[in-house]
Structure 1
């Protein structure tokens, strides 16, 4: 939506079988208590999957663009091969020898190639809607009298920038962000895409910003430090993971097989990593490797239906 939003699954396995119970697990079954395996290749899917993605062909064959797509013309992206694709059977655009289109598709995934069996053009309804107000909302209840500056003299853009720097220097710093949902023009920001220049300028008013600071340990220390430079509305709350820890984990996962887009430092307070396909085993591995609630894995290919 062009607003700089960082967009930015726990495994529950139950094994059942028919016939008589045996004392030893089958060779392909996970044994409880054994460590999850580190991924070494992209996982195949043993059932039909759904893809909501751009298919793009620069002349070397169609690719399934499950990660970022550059907003150039023609667009640019990369991804796994698409099998059995015939462009004449699907509406698409073309420019400079490049053909592409956005589709919702069901098909099979063997770990290297996606082969669609059902294809239709994607519509806006195919993509999940975000509640932006909930996404950026402050973690503290509104104080008596509402979110108002306590010192107008230090409720300025310069002071707000300084407050972010102070927060980032705290030893247990997790995150800081501005909650602008209290701004009277916020509804126009959500409804208009893109919002007018006048609305964008009005949204930058620090008097209508609740500075949120997240730390993992000492909330009182953080509030006192930030209050030395910031007189506007302030919410300091506790988070689970420091920013430094998430950066370390994100760097460790840069070469994850099948990894797409990744990021950290969002309000979710996790490393958010997209992969081509996860049947739950990648999430299980990162939970065991880094601890639950540190990495959130999102599978681009999801069960069909």
Structure 2
């Protein structure tokens, strides 16, 4: 048999172009056309317009995609699942955060648009792809090609025209129209006998293939009476009409809340095709989780739908993994939580002691309190026994004597919001108090969001509001009420000294040491720190174990180094120590851990020297401040690629 080039054709469908240019698909596994039906690769295809993407993809999962990223002035970089082939190209895609075009030297620019084909690695968060690595050259994945060869055996006389009177293209169209009217019809395609040339009659260059699920002899006889060119009638896997019906129903299904709950995220475009050769409907979406295929099997039957994810799990090495997380490590009496993993720094090299927690854990003498990625708060005793305290946990705190734990649970996330406050005793985990916080009138109206800040005596200080408008409050457990602390806002205070803590005062330009009385009333208990001490910012106020000293972080000026400030219990300055070894820009104090009354460990973050849009603080270090020698010195750098706030924290060890 002669060598042949094979061309697939879906019967009765036309390739559609649009006025602005042909829409192509950035995903190389699909060739759908936006808003149209395509004949490519023997599949009927359809697509959807962009919609808002879900944000519930596991934030710890690193994803990779090979596609087109496009940046139109005023819009920002977007990952394109479909690209309109104009000049410049156009798309409405998934926003990309952290892209620096200086890292993409192969990018092209026309007018107000810059674009490139690239491999992107990052996390899918908040309807955005947040890059964790620099872009790489796009890798074209291998594609499985359907077998377009003719399944019939070659006739004794070869593939020749059987009837010259029925060998025109019009004759083929009549045969094709007959085939498509049959309920058993699965598809039509051409198998070229030779390289097609201009004006070469169809019957001389190609074998016409028709497939059906049954009644092959009858259909062969009917087609032979309509078309006299080389032809083959073979058995197909599933009627094309059935596949098209499933395809329509699949596209109705993948945009439902049930599909989203199953891990299907079809925002920013989705494509589908009825594959006549495999007898399945193929669907491509922006992201598909581990349970998504099983959900489609349950809805449409096993093997009926094949799901493809544009974003794929990334299993290769990252830049940060290729460099040590703790370069030039020295032993420190503390643990550090970095992007979900807790590391014990007391030994060299360090070891990971807890993996996959959504916030820093708390180590107690008898066990560990931790919130897992599913937001379940668990107390694990040293003997291995675990007690689940709460689900859907927002945040939690532990009392100074380590006998109580309090946490929040968002009951109603939509504004104005409702928050459930909880307290349990330790180590048994018995829940003693539950209170539903509805709202205060904050800003433009009621607001029921709250988070726990610190214990103050037997009461709990809360931060209420949504951040844009907020107020301090006190949960008085014995009275089962939440009382607004009028005139005060919450700082990021990390603890209290008895019933004293630190709050913002007035418009937030100064902070003050306050006393929280048993009835929930709040009043000054010391000097206003900002008015007493001439400096700019107050960060992470933390009392010493005996409550006699208060450590705060800040700067003397926007460009100056961070400063550790110590005051006495009234707010009078005792000592200030600049941290002169910090690199990066706009450094800030994130956290203090008192080792004892004379030694502090300080977590300091800053931005890299080259700031780009979407950057997060990525220069981190742990400093030790010896109060007797008056100085803070770098003890340990932390090397990792952040993709958001609150991804590093110090953890006190028992």
Q: TM-score, normalised by structure 2?
A: 0.36
Q: How many pairs does the alignment contain?
A: 254
Residue in 2 that maps onto 1:113 = 128
Q: Which residue of 1 aligns with 2:100?
A: 86
Residue segments in structure 1 that go unaligned for 5+ positions in a row: 9-39, 187-198
- Distance in 2, Cα, partners of 1:217 & 1:135: 21
In the alignment, structure 1 residue 142 sits paired with structure 2 residue 151: no
Pair 1:50 & 2:64 matched:
yes
Seen in structure 2, the aligned counterparts of structure 1 residues 274 and 173 have a Cα distance that, compared at 3 Å, is same
Q: CA deviation at 1:300?
A: 1.3
Deviations 1:55-107 (A, max 9, x none): 112221211112x2111111112221111112233232222311211101222
The worse-fitting range, judged by mean Cα deviation, of 89-98 and 156-165 is: 89-98
CA distance 1:247–1:280, change in 2 (3 Å): same
Larger relative contact order, structure 1 or 2 (CA cutoff 8 Å, min sep 6)? 1
**Match of residue 222 from structure 1:** 219
Superposition map of 1:204-243 within 5 A: 205-243=202-240
- Which residue of structure 1 lines up, in the alignment, with residue 20 of structure 2? none
The structural deviation recorded for 1:4 is 5.3
2:309 is the counterpart of 1:293: no
CA change 1:288–1:143 in 2 (3 A) is farther
Structure 1 pair 152–5 and aligned structure 2 pair: CA distance change class (3 A): same
Distance 2:56 2:234 in 1: 38
Which of 299, 305, 313 lines up with 1:303 in the alignment? 313
Counterpart selection for 2:189 from 161, 177, 181: 177
CA RMSD of aligned residues (A): 2.8
Query: Is residue 2:41 matched to residue 1:6?
Result: yes
- Given that 2:84 and 2:91 are in contact with CA atoms closer than 8 Å, whether structure 1 keeps it comes out as yes
1:252–1:97 CA distance, 2 compared to 1 (3 A): same
Q: Is the 8 A contact 1:64 1:81 kept in 2?
A: yes
Decide whether aligned partners of structure 1 residues 169 and 110 sit closer, same or farther in structure 2, where only a CA change above 3 A counts.
Answer: same
Return the alpha-carbon distance in structure 1 between the equivalents of residues 75 and 42 of structure 2.
31
1:151 aligns with 2:163: yes
Give the 5 Å matches for 1:28-47.
41=54, 44=57, 47=61
- Contact 2:103–2:135 under 8 Å retained in 1: no
**Given the superposition, is the C-alpha separation of residues 148 and 94 from structure 1 closer, same or farther in structure 2, using an over 3 Å criterion?**
same
Is residue 299 of structure 2 the alignment partner of residue 283 of structure 1?
A: no
CA contact (8 A) 2:237 2:278 kept: no
Q: Which moved more, 1:225-234 or 1:106-115?
A: 106-115
Partner of 2:274: 264
Structure 1 residues 247, 156: closer, same or farther in 2, change over 3 A? same
| 1:239 to 1:292, Cα distance in 2 relative to 1, 3 A | farther
Give me the whole-angstrom Cα distance separating, in 2, the residues matched to 1:294 and 1:280. 18
Q: Alpha-carbon deviation of 1:149?
A: 2.4
Q: CA deviation at 1:41?
A: 4.8
Q: Deviations over 1:130-178 (max 9, x none)?
A: 65xx542223233334322222321221111111101001121111112
Tell me the distance in 2 between the aligned counterparts of 1:228 and 1:152: 12
TM-score calculated relative to the size of structure 1: 0.73
Which of 97, 116, 138 aligns to 1:101? It is 116
Q: Runs of 5+ in structure 2 lacking a partner? A: 1-23, 25-30, 32-37, 44-52, 256-264, 317-654
Q: After the TM superposition, which segments of 4 or more aligned residues of structure 1 sit over 4 Å from their partners?
A: 1-4, 40-43
Looking at structure 2, the residues matched to 281 and 207 of structure 1 have their Cα atoms a distance apart, in angstroms, of: 50
Question: Higher helix fraction: Structure 1 or Structure 2?
Answer: 1
CA contact under 8 A between 1:178 and 1:210: conserved in structure 2? yes
